[in-house]
Chain A
């Protein structure tokens, strides 16, 4: 991957709202060149989505999140892929990761109530063929997500005017 593409990706990862024109100014490039490259990155599914990061707790919306450890028996020929993709197709799942270590898949699930999340796990997730067991961890508090600190931490301020 060339330097310019990498820089475009780093900028978009930090702020998905950046327009090609803005990025072009920042990188000292032509807007058309940047536009074309961003379209290419989207076509190739390297830039897969642009989503706002919301602090729902602050919005007063009680969403329930959980991280489910899923132990899976890999299937002949396809390993974990088949079961992982199956789980990913559920709209209730936010993320599905294959991990090294004591369990296999980490699945983030959300719902309106704990009961809803628990029902999803017991009725739809756990019974899947290939799933050997699950452990549900409910998310109590989000401190940092996607590189952004959610709390208002004390930040040292500069003097407003200095020579």
Chain B
């Protein structure tokens, strides 16, 4: 018909999603989540959160604050009483002085803290060095911020501690920051003071920022946790990410913090004020109580995690899966090499045959291949039952491999 364009010359449908978002690979974990939803009687070692409920006095403090009507926005930075308590906490534990007015920001979990920090510091094309395997969010957040992830392999032979020389080799003129998370998800690895000091030297030499995700700082079972920002000279170039989720079993409350020098903190606040606006009021009220009176609860939980850690590591080794000793967080990261299976195959088949869920190591990066992440934040009887089932599965596979 006259006046109307012919069908064959109609314009192509427009891409609705940004190139950046399209570039992000789908989560390796999602598939398992959907598979488990169809099954009954699964023992899941695939979680990333405590099995404890938030201690009652902390929940009670939040309930009481709700009764008194604390349901509104807080200041962007977060409740002054909470920031003061965090400042006090960091001073007492690590000897770090952060001015609660200008150097602390309360965020919606470490998740938001990480996101706004990378967005605040990265120009398009800036590089961030990230140990591999690592937490699932690190690479996507850097990519979403327009940055380039430079993965640095870590190895079981080093207990999955990232090596300074590997980081050094990855530095280019475009490198802006190093992003580390210890104690580590998924490996359970910790870094000693000397290990971290070696990285500090590189950061100093190349004038890099260090983003240190220390959400698992209290879950350290051998030796003491070293806070990166507390190393000599590092406070001025470290963005410390911390929170309450793991230490106080407060994952659902969504409260974390960013501690950083005033200029970087101000950049993060700029984004935070226009996006999240503030972390939940009730989460912040709960966090104040956690810092005030939560120590005994943390100590009890850490002791219980430690017992489970010993049981699961020995159990995995006893059924034939080599496992380095994880000294922090609540994950064991055994090798599944003796079965001859790939980590995704292993996880899928174990789930279908024995109803035990673990997360394939490759979901956390290429260097996670050949390993699976086993979370021991679950009851002792469940751990023991899971070990029995894993044992049967491994025996069958090993025997089949020989036959």
Residues of A within 8 A of B (CB): 15, 22, 25-28, 156, 158-163
Contacts and interface: CB of A to CB of B under 8 A. Distances in A.
Given A160-B37, A161-B357, A162-B47, 5 more contacts: A25-B311, A160-B33, A160-B44, A161-B32, A163-B27
Contacts of A26: 307-308, 310-311, 380
B48 A160 contact: no
For chain B, give the interface size range: 20 to 34
B314 interface: yes
A61 B319 CA distance: 41
Contacts of A22: 311
Nearest to A14: B380
B273 interface: no
Nearest to A156: B53
Interface in B348-403: 357, 359, 380
Contacts of A156: 53
A160 B355 CA distance: 12
Contacts of B47: 158-162
B135 A163 contact: yes
A87 to B, nearest CB: 37
Contacts of A158: 44, 47, 49, 51
Contact of B48 (A27, A28, A163): A163
Nearest to A29: B310
The 5 closest A-B pairs by CB, nearest first: A26-B307, A161-B46, A160-B44, A162-B48, A163-B136
Nearest to A10: B303
A28 B314 CA distance: 11
Nearest to B28: A163
A162 B137 CA distance: 12
Interface in B58-107: none
B365 to A, nearest CB: 13
B87 to A, nearest CB: 29
Nearest to B363: A163
Contacts of B170: none
Contact of A163 (B29, B37, B308): B29
A162 B45 CA distance: 10
B325 to A, nearest CB: 11
Contact of B29 (A15, A25, A27, A161): A161
B311 A161 contact: no
Most buried by B among A28, A156, A162, A163: A163
B137 A163 contact: yes
A25 B33 contact: no
B137 to A, nearest CB: 7
Contacts of A27: 307, 310
A22 B311 CA distance: 8
Nearest to B381: A15
A69 to B, nearest CB: 32
Contacts of B42: 160
A162 B306 CA distance: 21
B36 interface: yes
Contacts of B53: 156
B343 to A, nearest CB: 15
Contacts of A160: 33, 36-37, 42, 44, 46-47, 357
A25 B135 CA distance: 29
Interface in B297-356: 306-308, 310-311, 314
A26 B359 CA distance: 24
A15 B44 CA distance: 22
Contacts of A25: 310-311, 314
A161 B307 contact: no
Interface string B19-33: 000000001010011
A36 B37 CA distance: 47
24 contacts: A26-B308, A26-B310, A26-B311, A26-B380, A27-B310, A28-B306, A28-B310, A158-B44, A158-B49, A158-B51, A159-B47, A160-B36, A160-B42, A160-B44, A161-B29, A161-B33, A161-B46, A161-B47, A161-B357, A162-B46, A162-B49, A163-B135, A163-B136, A163-B137
A163 B42 CA distance: 18
A90 B50 CA distance: 47
A125 B53 CA distance: 46
Nearest to A28: B310
B135 to A, nearest CB: 7
Contact of A159 (B33, B185, B310, B311): B33
A28 B310 CA distance: 7
Nearest to A155: B53
Nearest to A11: B307
B383 to A, nearest CB: 11
Most buried by B among A156, A160, A161, A163: A161
Nearest to B30: A161
Contacts of B51: 158
Nearest to B48: A162
Given A26-B307, A26-B310, A28-B310, A161 B359 contact: yes
Contacts of B136: 163
A159 B307 CA distance: 24
